[in-house]
Each structure stands twice: as structure tokens, then as C-alpha cells.
């Protein structure tokens, strides 16, 4: 019962470094999402994907890139990390349109940029 798995769970980066947050799901879901959540705030959509090979920007895509080469994986790339990217990142998936709309979340990746 793995569901949505995110790695790493915690990471500290220096300004200007790059890294990739990994996300994989074993439920054969078409839709996958990356959200960030700043302290005391709601979730903001960074990027999403409706299927392999298809990605689209959310409301806060600047400074990030994604790819979706397989149904299972949806990595999030941070280029030139900045302190403003300090946040908790959640990956989520759901089967697709027409379903209940339930999002299945990973446990989150806590990123600090110093």
C-alpha cells in the first residue's frame, strides 16, 4: 500500500543550488500535482500533469520545472534555489476527471534554503 511516495522528506539547500524532489505513485493515476505550502498558508499549485508527456503550469511555477515521462513518476526540479522556495512540498495524484476528486497526497518534503 505505498500510494504516493515523496523523497527526500527533509532537505537543506544553499542559495543557488539545484535539486529534484521525487514523486512516484503506484495507483496508475493519470493526474499528478505538485503543491507548496508555506507556514500558516494554504496549498498553492506549482505544476500539474494529466498524463504521461503532458504537464501544465499552476499558479506559482516560477523557479520550478517538471517532467512526466511515465505515469508513475512526476519529479519536481528546483533550479537556482532561493530562500523564497523554503516550504513544504506536497505531491498528489488522482485517477482523473469524473472521479470523486479525492487527491492522494504524499507525506511532504520539507525544504529549507539558506
Partner 1 sequence: RKEVEQDPGPFNVPEGATVAFNCTYSNSASQSFFWYRQDCRKEPKLLMSVYSSGNEDGRFTAQLNRASQYISLLIRDSKLSDSATYLCVVPGTGTASKLTFGTGTRLQVTL
Nearer to partner 1, 12 or 80 (CB): 12
Interface with partner 1 by CB under 8 A: which residues?
31, 33, 35, 41-45, 48, 50, 56, 58, 88, 90, 97, 100-103, 105-108
Nearer to partner 1, 38 or 79 (CB): 38
User: Judged by CB, which is closer to partner 1: 64, or 106?
Assistant: 106
- Please report how close the Cβ of residue 52 comes to partner 1 at its closest, in angstroms: 15
User: Residue 69, class by beta-carbon neighbours within 10 Å (0-12 exposed, 13-18 middle, 19+ buried)?
Assistant: exposed
The C-alpha cell that represents 28 in the structure block: 496508475
- Angstrom distance (rounded) from CA 109 to CA 53: 24
The smaller minimum CB distance to partner 1, of residues 16 and 96, is found at 96
Q: How far is the CB of 27 from partner 1 (least distance, A)?
A: 14
Is 48 in contact with 36 (CB distance < 8 Å)?
A: no
Closest approach of partner 1 to the CB of residue 24, in Å: 15
Q: How far is the CB of 100 from partner 1 (least distance, A)?
A: 6
- 539558506: which residue's cell? 114
Q: Is residue 91 within 8 Å of residue 23, measured between CB atoms?
A: yes
Q: Report yes or no: 45 and 60 within 8 Å, Cβ to Cβ.
A: yes
Amino acid at each position: 500500500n505505498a500510494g504516493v511516495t515523496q523523497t527526500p522528506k527533509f532537505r537543506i539547500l544553499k542559495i543557488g543550488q539545484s535539486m529534484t524532489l521525487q514523486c512516484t505513485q503506484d495507483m496508475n493515476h493519470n493526474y499528478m500535482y505538485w503543491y507548496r505550502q508555506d507556514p500558516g498558508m494554504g496549498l498553492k499549485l506549482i505544476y500539474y500533469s494529466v498524463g504521461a508527456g503532458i504537464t501544465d503550469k499552476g499558479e506559482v511555477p516560477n523557479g520550478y520545472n517538471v517532467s512526466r515521462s511515465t505515469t508513475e513518476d512526476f519529479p519536481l526540479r528546483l533550479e537556482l534555489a532561493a530562500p523564497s522556495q523554503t516550504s513544504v512540498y506536497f505531491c498528489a495524484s488522482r485517477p482523473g476527471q469524473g472521479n470523486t476528486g479525492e487527491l492522494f497526497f504524499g507525506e511532504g518534503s520539507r525544504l529549507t534554503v539558506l
